[in-house]
Amino acid sequence: MRQKAKIEKYDAPAGGWGSLSAVAHILTQEEVALLGSEILLKQNKAGGFMCVSCSWAKPAEPRMFEFCENGAKATAWEITGKTVTADFFAQHTLTELRAWSDHQLEEKGRLTTPMRYDPGSDKYLPVDWSEAFREIGAELNALDPRSVIMYTSGRASLEASYMYQLFGRMYGTNNFPDSSNMCHETTSVALPEVIGVPVGTVLLTDFDETDCIFFFGHNTTTNAPRMLHPLQEAAQRGVPIVTFNPLRERGLERFVNPQSPVQMIAGGTRISSQYHQVRIGGDAAAIAGICKWIVESDDLARTNGGPRVVDVAFIEQHTAGFDEFAAFCRAQDWGQIERASGLSRTAMLDAANTYMAANAVIANYGMGITQHKHGVETAKMIVNLLLLRGNIGKPGAGISPIRGHSNVQGQRTVGISEKTKLVPLDKLAELYGFEPPRWDGLSTVDACEGILKGDVRGFVSLGGNFVRAIPERSLMEPAWSGLRLSVQIATKLNRSHIVPGEVTYLLPCLGRIEIDQQASGPQAVSMEDSTTCIHGSRGQRQPVADNLLSEPAIVAALAKATLGPNPAVDWDAWVADYAQVRDAIERTYPDQFKDFNERMFEPGGFPRPLPARERKWKTPNGKANFTVPKAAFAPPRDGDGIYELMTMRADGQFNTTIYTEDDRFRGIQGSRYVVLMNPADMEDDGLKSGDTVTLVTEAGDGVERSLSELQVVPYDIPRKSLAGYYPECNGLIPLWHYAEGSKVPAAKSVPVRLFQDMIPEIIEGGEIPISTG
């Protein structure tokens, strides 16, 4: 039986005293209370270290404490004094560890010694670094490079990532799936087609100049909390913030800056001025409604000879496809849009009127948009909305996809991509005198398919927890053991490490907050935030163990053990001095990284140049493109007993890293095995709060996907919608259920049926439950 969750409505604002006590708690739990508070002062400041949690921008003039509750948790989690040694592995077989929870595994502390899996004893045994590298090199050379995956989770630095992709390409593969393939790849596919860049266009300073903010599908409260500061400042200036989210997320309602005594007393600021509880997957329809009203208001203005509503000069000079898009908007039926969005016409008119009254609008979005079957089209709908009034490429305006991991955007910038068109292969060939593979590599979903089919034989993981982050758990975990080679470079023990292949290595590395001492002295690394700004980061803490290597050192050693010598790449010199890697990055991307080493510690970071910011459109037709969605907006399901399940993050986690079992802002404590449900749906299904249910995926492909003993929590969520936690619910998501065009798993709308669990005592007693009804 699972532990019961305690449910208590959370009425306090986000931030505030609750945040302070949560920070104190985690520092104590990780046994770093004093050291931790000292190190936190260096967080997200020029010359200090860049937070290992989210990728939100770091201001040029930081606050005294430029971190949030969750950034502090991430720091404490990394600099913990707790360690996992060879002794630990001598005591536990992997079979035994597979019964542990994600929290229990990581909570043991930092990995300290390189380990090799011994199938005979089912245990990890210690191995010398040099032996590990030699054997991995030999294994890689025995495999076809096309059958090897080189995964990255978006935390590794620009330096480590650049070296990793170069190593992989010299080895002969373009199989570089990244956590981005489960995240904002939808953005990277949608935006180039319509505005000619794969990333957002806003800078932090745009938040000072904007006069309206739209917000789609992002839980800022827990997932980019520092962003609440610019939002709060904007709200205090009277800037309307229009939010679309099926759930009422606390931080998007009210926020108290825990670092401001005045606010702590005054009770904080209202953040959203409008809060639209859109249906799961209903955003494209909602935006169509908003655009319809804008286009029709413009039509009326034209008829009456009044001032135009759309930005005619911008549309004429800069865009293509406006007429088709306007015709599409006019043709929409309000009844249909209302059903598909779950919003009233009045609500959409309110949003549209607010949009039309503003001169400069920013549109932010997160996983609530990207992790949907039609996510690519919805991201393009957000662009349509912005283009109508020229809201891209002017101060205070722009599109702002809020990225996840702290360097996920940067990794794509320096060549971690399975898509060859995004990588300057000719330049790499010229600089390093080799012929890189020219075929497109495998994305995350492709890699999973390859593992299921047995075509993928080797998997190298630069961070992350692939096995736990991907969909289709019941098929993927068994298939994983069919791998010939699994190499896991990591800081903490997780599930991907204890599902071994035939030959498996676990290589412990330094974390970003640790001092990285190399031949030329302590090294800095760099990363790119969500707003294309590049920041240097210096480790602050002594490494937790003597035997750790940095990620660049591990990548270089793997490369040397695998590849023949190449006079154009001196791996040892690069490891001795990372500035040389940055020079190599600058040589590869001279426009993007001009004077990289000189500029890397500029306060606020230095922005990469972005053509769309200057209204230069690097699209095939040289224009910003309006697009008409191809798929019809789906109405809600009707009486078929199927629910849409979204899988999301709680306050107590960073992705598959589970700090605590609590979700403070949603009032849920002590268990993550819950399902949030509309009270009216509960009543229809005869459920009361605390009952447990089984969810079964409605897929029709013969694969059984179910999860039992989920405690029902009545919640303010639209009818026929459910919410559960990632990664607990990942086994419910079919591998083929992904965003069209980007292959991002559609983790935010999984069709499921719901059954009340039988009373456990009766099942345990072996009796057949008798209906009393």
Ligand X SMILES: Nc1nc2c(c(=O)[nH]1)N[C@H]1C(S)=C(S)[C@@H](COP(=O)(O)OP(=O)(O)OC[C@H]3O[C@@H](n4cnc5c(=O)[nH]c(N)nc54)[C@H](O)[C@@H]3O)O[C@H]1N2
Q: Which residues form the interface with ligand X (CB under 6 A)?
A: 53-54, 70, 106, 153, 155, 179, 182-183, 216-219, 222-224, 244-247, 249, 278, 280-281, 283, 366-368, 371, 404-405, 462-466, 469, 489-492, 494, 509, 511-512, 551, 646-649, 653-657, 726-727, 729-730, 733, 747-748
In the bound state with Mo ion, the residue whose beta carbon lies nearer, of 183 and 385, is 183
Q: Cβ of residue 255: shortest distance to ligand X, in angstroms?
A: 15
Q: Cβ of residue 80: shortest distance to ligand X, in angstroms?
A: 12
- 668 burial level (CB within 10 Å; 0-12, 13-18, 19+): buried
648 interacts with, out of ligand X, Mo ion, none, CB within 5 to 8 A per kind: ligand X
Q: Does 402 bind Mo ion (CB under 5 A)?
A: no
Angle 29-30-32 from CA coordinates, rounded to 5°: 110
Q: Cβ of residue 370: shortest distance to Mo ion, in angstroms?
A: 9
Q: Cβ of residue 366: shortest distance to ligand X, in angstroms?
A: 2
> Which of 338, 336, 225 has the alpha carbon at shortest distance from 276?
338
Helix (H) / strand (E) containing 87: helix 86-91
Quick one: angle between helices 425-432 and 158-171, nearest 10? 80
221 interacts with, out of Mo ion, ligand X, none, CB within 5 to 8 A per kind: none
Q: Which stretch binds Mo ion (CB under 5 A): 81-89, 403-411, 542-550, 577-585?
A: 403-411
d(CA 164, CA 180): 16
Q: Cβ of residue 418: shortest distance to ligand X, in angstroms?
A: 15
- Tokens standing for residue 447: 């890699």
Sign (positive or negative) of CA dihedral 220, 490, 563, 597: positive
C-alpha distances in angstroms, 316 versus 320, 398, 527, 610, 624? Answer: 8, 19, 38, 22, 11
d(CA 15, CA 69): 8
d(CA 477, CA 70): 30
Site for Mo ion in 711-770 (CB under 5 A): none
Angle 310-313-318 from CA coordinates, rounded to 5°: 100
Closest-approach residue to Mo ion (CB)? 404
54 interacts with, out of Mo ion, ligand X, none, CB within 5 to 8 A per kind: ligand X
705 interacts with, out of ligand X, Mo ion, none, CB within 5 to 8 A per kind: none
> Which of 422, 399, 272, 417 has the alpha carbon at shortest distance from 347?
272
In the bound state with ligand X, the residue whose beta carbon lies nearer, of 147 and 653, is 653
415 interacts with, out of Mo ion, ligand X, none, CB within 5 to 8 A per kind: none
In the bound state with Mo ion, the residue whose beta carbon lies nearer, of 127 and 182, is 182
d(CA 695, CA 675): 9
In the bound state with ligand X, the residue whose beta carbon lies nearer, of 530 and 625, is 530
In the bound state with ligand X, the residue whose beta carbon lies nearer, of 162 and 466, is 466
Q: Cβ of residue 42: shortest distance to ligand X, in angstroms?
A: 17
Q: Rg of the Cα trace of the chain?
A: 26
Q: Cβ of residue 320: shortest distance to ligand X, in angstroms?
A: 28
In the bound state with Mo ion, the residue whose beta carbon lies nearer, of 7 and 183, is 183
Q: Cβ of residue 670: shortest distance to ligand X, in angstroms?
A: 19
Angle 293-294-299 from CA coordinates, rounded to 5°: 95
246 interacts with, out of ligand X, Mo ion, none, CB within 5 to 8 A per kind: ligand X
Contacts of 262 (CB under 8 A, 6+ apart): none
d(CA 486, CA 566): 26
In the bound state with ligand X, the residue whose beta carbon lies nearer, of 213 and 648, is 648
Q: Cβ of residue 659: shortest distance to ligand X, in angstroms?
A: 9
Q: Cβ of residue 743: shortest distance to ligand X, in angstroms?
A: 13
Q: Does 46 bind Mo ion (CB under 5 A)?
A: no
In the bound state with ligand X, the residue whose beta carbon lies nearer, of 123 and 373, is 373
Total residues interacting with Mo ion, rule: CB under 5 A: 2
C-alpha distances in angstroms, 43 versus 53, 76, 266? Answer: 11, 12, 27
- 333 burial level (CB within 10 Å; 0-12, 13-18, 19+): exposed
In the bound state with Mo ion, the residue whose beta carbon lies nearer, of 404 and 415, is 404
627 interacts with, out of ligand X, Mo ion, none, CB within 5 to 8 A per kind: none
Q: Does 404 bind Mo ion (CB under 5 A)?
A: yes
DSSP class of residue 665 equals: G
- 89 and 125 Cβ atoms separated by less than 8 Å: yes
In the bound state with Mo ion, the residue whose beta carbon lies nearer, of 80 and 530, is 530
The total number of residues written for the chain in this structure: 773
When binding is defined by CB under 5 A, the residue of 183, 356, 509, 744 that contacts Mo ion is 183
363 interacts with, out of ligand X, Mo ion, none, CB within 5 to 8 A per kind: none
- 305 burial level (CB within 10 Å; 0-12, 13-18, 19+): exposed
Helix (H) / strand (E) containing 643: strand 643-648
Q: Which stretch binds Mo ion (CB under 5 A): 314-322, 396-404, 631-639, 738-746?
A: 396-404
d(CA 292, CA 351): 12
In the bound state with ligand X, the residue whose beta carbon lies nearer, of 186 and 319, is 186
Q: Cβ of residue 760: shortest distance to ligand X, in angstroms?
A: 26
In the bound state with ligand X, the residue whose beta carbon lies nearer, of 67 and 322, is 67
Q: Cβ of residue 676: shortest distance to ligand X, in angstroms?
A: 9
Q: Cβ of residue 323: shortest distance to ligand X, in angstroms?
A: 28
Q: Which stretch binds Mo ion (CB under 5 A): 181-189, 207-215, 262-270, 329-337?
A: 181-189
In the bound state with ligand X, the residue whose beta carbon lies nearer, of 224 and 242, is 224
Burial 90-110 (b: 16+ CB within 10 A, else e): eeeebeebeebebeebbbbbb
Question: Which residues of this protein are in contact with Mo ion, per CB under 5 A?
Answer: 183, 404
